[in-house]
Structure 1
């Protein structure tokens, strides 16, 4: 065992651990290192402890990162592996997102033993989701559906669905695939109809600025295309002050050196929607995301986000 293994911080859910192991395995392959050159450090976050109410009521996205970032800042871990969609747009001083793994499927998956698609669900069906974006989009497509709060890790949500607590649920296709659970997917929702969360399907790695040794190791597994897409999406979210309290979707795609970005903001009940898109050189990713966010803000007017 080497004396100073690279310590990888992660949440303890099966999905978070799968993402941490993928990061470790890529680093092992890139640098020819053995497994004992790494240590996976599981950190329980506030978001994992609070299961009885919506996260938007108790602090939003940062609840899944706060304790992990504290461990990074005080040197207990060397890097942290996160789902990009859990990351706040503002990070603590001294920390940065320093690598992205190649992005998985960005789409939302529909899971139900009772219908093939969201459209096929019977009138008044009950759909479970803890995401305000998904809740608003479901209501926009099917105002008759009863959408209920649905917390818990991926396995808990699958169990509740099997037990009949709800008629259907929506989950990120990427998470199901990473856990080898794609056979649970009933159908996939098209990006056109159901714009994903900013960063959905992308694993990001956070580390200390100036920790050159860790940065050098991460450079070998970094996927620039994913970062370019996420730069646009996170710039868009930052303009709208996106938190768990606002239903927001955004997706950047690359076609050669051209980046196309589309963003959406919804009222929580799905009754009002604003969408905007823009294209430009990939090198202008941040500007494109910001511009779409600013245009949407102007179109919505000052009361839109304040009403809820």
Structure 2
């Protein structure tokens, strides 16, 4: 995160162009950022531009088959690199840990609940994940969730589900699934927290890297934009997410690799737990590393290397090879 000076904002005001995906959740998140900045900087005009990404267009193929290199971000990033827009608002979990040359992570906002949530069909409203009947069909597009749930609940069946949040809920309600797993943060932000039937504890499902936080990406060296974004930066969330992203970057994993995390912050002490799982859920390599928030990224790197030493590398190699075939 770059430091900025108040003098940057004393320059003549102008229109700041924000780029976002078109989905309802993406726009809710982007409009929140716009409105917060407008409150802090009333002399600026903040304009939202929307577009579809590859991940929005390709809905008939599982995420693991089409890769993760900028799946939900590349088109937005291109507009910034051309100078057409000034920054992009992302769900941080969608933002690759290695950004294109010329772009940077300008700030990380305060995190919503990062946990995974169970949403059930009406006929199972008296059930929990643990008490769903054998063969119940669970919808998820995440290999991370799939691997961990297969490990804990081998009697359940799992089926890929794509589309935005509203589309997935509709598919559930129409009876195509007995339950689906979604991010609690997305449901909360869309005022759909009443659909959350159960929050999955970290012992069952470690969440995705960056889940629940917003990552704002901008051009490197754009001091005016960095000065604006500084008011949205949340230090505790930033420490947690930098540790998580360093862990993922060191393992060179993405959405096609079952990697989960959990971070706990107590005072200045950060504890990062991570897991690498095989697709069938039979093998899980899991451990934790603790340290000071000032060494957040180092904590992530140390944990990644520790899990590699404990058997994660063969799992990663197998999954990467399978994805390439």
- TM-score, normalising length from structure 2? 0.91
Structure 1 residues not aligned, in runs of 5+? none
Look up the match of 1:196: 207
Partner deviation per Cα, 1:26-45 (whole Å, 9 max, x = no partner): 111222357xx111110110
Partner deviation per Cα, 1:111-143 (whole Å, 9 max, x = no partner): 002153211110011011000011111111111
* Contact 2:149–2:204 (CA under 8 A) maintained in structure 1: no
Look up the match of 1:22: 32
* Contact 1:61–1:244 (CA under 8 A) maintained in structure 2: no
Deviates more, 1:127-136 or 1:250-259: 250-259
* Structure-to-structure mapping, 1:82-231, within 5 angstroms: 82-112=90-120, 113=122, 114-115=124-125, 116-231=127-242
Partner deviation per Cα, 1:42-92 (whole Å, 9 max, x = no partner): 011001000011122122251100100101110111000000111111100
* Contact 1:27–1:33 (CA under 8 A) maintained in structure 2: no
2:23 counterpart of 1:13: yes
CA distance in 1, matches of 2:200, 2:314: 30
Q: Report the CA distance shift for 1:146/1:61 in structure 2 as closer, same or farther (over 3 A).
A: farther
* Contact 2:276–2:312 (CA under 8 A) maintained in structure 1: no
CA distance in 2, matches of 1:27, 1:33: 10
How many pairs are equivalent? 305
| 1:224 to partner: Cα distance | 1.5
Structure 2 residues not aligned, in runs of 5+? 1-11, 320-325
CA distance in 2, matches of 1:72, 1:253: 34
Deviates more, 1:84-93 or 1:219-228: 219-228
CA distance in 1, matches of 2:144, 2:312: 19
**Secondary structure of the structure 2 residue equivalent to 1:220:** helix
| 1:285 to partner: Cα distance | 0.6
RMSD: 1.4
